[in-house]
């Protein structure tokens, strides 16, 4: 077994969260007098945490006070609407069930706020993934390697046996900073070209292709 520890990003990798993120973002934007954003715009904004999502969605000269005000509205709305349209990508549940059955150690690390990461992980992957880490004051946001290294420690594993799977340039950078290989998935929020240019070690177009790498 080349790798026995697989660490996954969440949004755009395991779960298609785009529509729920867009709905909550646009709820906050319109409530505070700003124009709503399209799915393609929201897709390009995600990946660096909810505060950066809000900064990118608001007009460029928005004050920090306006960012915080809209962010509070977004977070409150998203907490009770994060499972309306969200679901695993095709093939993800079969992949995770296979990995679990064959005793791989599995974790999720995400720049989404920690309570949402834990809730979504429990709802969709409760029996399959034991460690789920989101953004919090205790763990630096990706691309800092802290979340990956924390997950590896909690799983009782080591870097030499670990692989990271994600859909964005932030994920590739995080894996590099942690010193482990990165598998870029092309079904998420970024293009194959973006992942290739960022230096992903592997690229896969379907979840089952991961099995040939491990």
Q: What is the DSSP string of 88-155?
A: EPTTHHHHHHHHHHTT-EEEEEEEEEHHHHHHHHHHHHTTT--EEEEEBTTBPPTTSTHHHHHHHHHT
Q: What is the mean pLDDT of the chain?
A: 96
Specify the domain boundaries for CATH 3.40.50.1000 within the chain.
5-16+87-212
Categorize the per-residue pLDDT at 107 as very low, low, confident or very high, splitting at 50, 70 and 90. very high
With a pLDDT cut of 70, the percent of the chain lying above it is: 100
Tokens of 106: 């599995």
Q: Which CATH fold topology does 18-79 show?
A: DNA polymerase; domain 1 (1.10.150)
Q: What's the pLDDT at 213?
A: 94
Rounded Cα distance, 182 and 9, in Å? 11
Q: Does domain 5-16+87-212 have CATH number 3.20.19.10?
A: no
Enumerate residues 6+ apart whose C-beta is below 8 A from 91.
206, 207, 208
Catalytic annotation, residues = 9
Q: What's the pLDDT at 47?
A: 86
Rounded Cα distance, 81 and 203, in Å? 32
């Amino acid at each position: 077994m080349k790798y026995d520890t697989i660490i996954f990003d969440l949004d755009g990798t395991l779960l298609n969260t785009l529509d729920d993120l867009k709905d909550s973002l646009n709820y906050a934007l319109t409530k505070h007098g700003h124009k709503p954003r399209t799915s393609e715009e929201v897709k390009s904004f995600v990946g660096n945490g909810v505060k950066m999502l809000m900064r990118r969605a608001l007009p460029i000269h928005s004050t920090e006070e306006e960012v915080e005000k809209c962010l509070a509205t977004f977070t409150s709305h998203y907490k009770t609407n994060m499972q309306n349209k969200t679901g695993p990508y095709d093939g993800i549940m079969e992949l995770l069930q296979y990995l679990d059955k064959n005793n791989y150690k599995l974790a999720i690390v995400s720049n989404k706020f920690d309570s949402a990461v834990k809730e979504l992980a429990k709802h969709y992957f409760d029996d399959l993934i034991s460690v789920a880490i989101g953004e919090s004051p205790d763990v630096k946001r990706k691309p800092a390697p802290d979340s990956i290294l924390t997950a590896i420690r909690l799983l009782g594993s080591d870097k030499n046996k670990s692989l990271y799977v994600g859909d964005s340039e932030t994920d590739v950078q995080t894996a590099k900073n942690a010193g482990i290989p990165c598998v870029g998935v092309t079904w998420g929020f970024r293009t194959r070209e973006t992942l290739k240019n960022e230096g992903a070690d592997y690229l896969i177009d379907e979840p089952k292709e991961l099995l040939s790498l491990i």
